[in-house]
Amino acid sequence: MAVKIIECPRDAMQGIKHPISTEKKVEWMRLLMQCGFDTLDCGSFVNPARVPQMADTHEVLEELLPTKGKNQFLVIVGNERGAGIAAEKKYVDYIGFPFSINDTFQLRNTNAGKSEAFDRLKNIQQIAQANDKKVVAYISMAFGNPYGEFYDRKDVIDWANKIVDLGIQTISLSDTVGTAKIEDIGYVFGNLTKNLPEIEFGAHFHSVPFQWIPKIEAAWNQGCRRYDGAILGLGGCPMADDELTGNIPTEGLIDWINQRESTNIDADKITKAVYIAPSIYG
C-alpha cells in the first residue's frame, strides 16, 4: 500500500481564537494544494457557533474549486445535516465523522452518546453513498482518555469491525489527547491490519514535540501507511492536559517516512509552507 499523508489545516485552525480571513485561508490552501498531499482535511460543516473558525468553509473551498485538479478534499461533519450539506458540494471527496469509543468525549464533541453517534455514522454513510462521496470514520479516544474511565483496546477492534460492517473503507485511529501507549498502538494496528487487510487504517496522532516518532513507528511496523499531520504541528485537542500537545508536524513526518519509502511530496513547497505558516496562523 502506498504511503498517504493527509495535511490537516482544519485541525490546525479550528482552535485558534482570532479569526483568520477567508483570503488567507484560500492563499494557504493554494500552497498546500501544490505540495502533493494525498488529501487535505480542509474544513467542516458544523454549527458555526461551536467552531466559528470554520464558518467560511464553503466560501474557501468554492474559491479553490476551479484549480482543485487532482487534490482530494475532506470535510468534517457532526451529524446528518452537515453530511447532507457536504454531499451536495462538488469540491468534497471525503466526509469525515468523529466517532468516540468514550461516551463523555462523544457528548462533548457532537452532543450525542455513543449509540446515537453510531446511528449518525450509519446515516452519514448512506448519504455519502447516495452522492458518490466516501466516508472517513475517525475513532476518537482510540488509545485511552483523560476522564479516568475504563479503557479496553479490544473495544477499539470491536467498534472498527462494526464500522466496517456499514461499508466504510477508511478508518483513522485517533490518539486524541496524546497519551497513547506504544504497546496499545502496536496491538490495535497489528490486529486490525492483519484481520481486515482490505480496509485502509490511518493514524491521527497528537503529541508533545519530539515524542511522536515512537508512535508513528509503532503504527508503521504494523502496516499503517496513512498518516495525518499539520505543518508545524499546530492544532490538536483542547482537552489535552499539556498545552504543547498538538498535531504531528507534517514536515517531520515527511522526513521520517522518506527515510523508508518515497512520499512524492514536493520538498521545496513544504519548506515554503513551513516558512509561511506563522503569517497564516498568527
Domain of 221, in residue numbers = 4-281
Quick one: pLDDT at residue 54? 96
Residue 57, exposed/middle/buried by CB under 10 A (0-12, 13-18, 19+)? Answer: buried
Strand partners, 201: 171
Quick one: pLDDT at residue 88? 98
Give me the DSSP letters along 251-267.
HHHHHHHHTTS-----H
pTM of the model: 0.95
Cell numbers found for residue 128: 455519502
SS3 (DSSP) at 66: helix
CATH (domain of 10): 3.20.20.70
- Tell me how many domains the chain contains: 1
Cell numbers found for residue 86: 457536504
Q: What average pLDDT values come out for the chain (282 residues) when binned by 10 residues?
A: 94 94 98 98 95 97 97 97 98 96 77 87 98 97 83 94 98 91 97 98 92 96 98 77 76 97 95 97 90
Quick one: pLDDT at residue 238? 58
Quick one: pLDDT at residue 112? 73
Answer whether 97's CB lies under 8 Å from 41's CB: no
Answer whether 185's CB lies under 8 Å from 278's CB: no
Beta strands 246-247 and 200-207: pairing type? antiparallel
Strand partners, 264: none
For 87-168, strand residue ranges (E) read 94-100, 134-140
Quick one: pLDDT at residue 93? 98
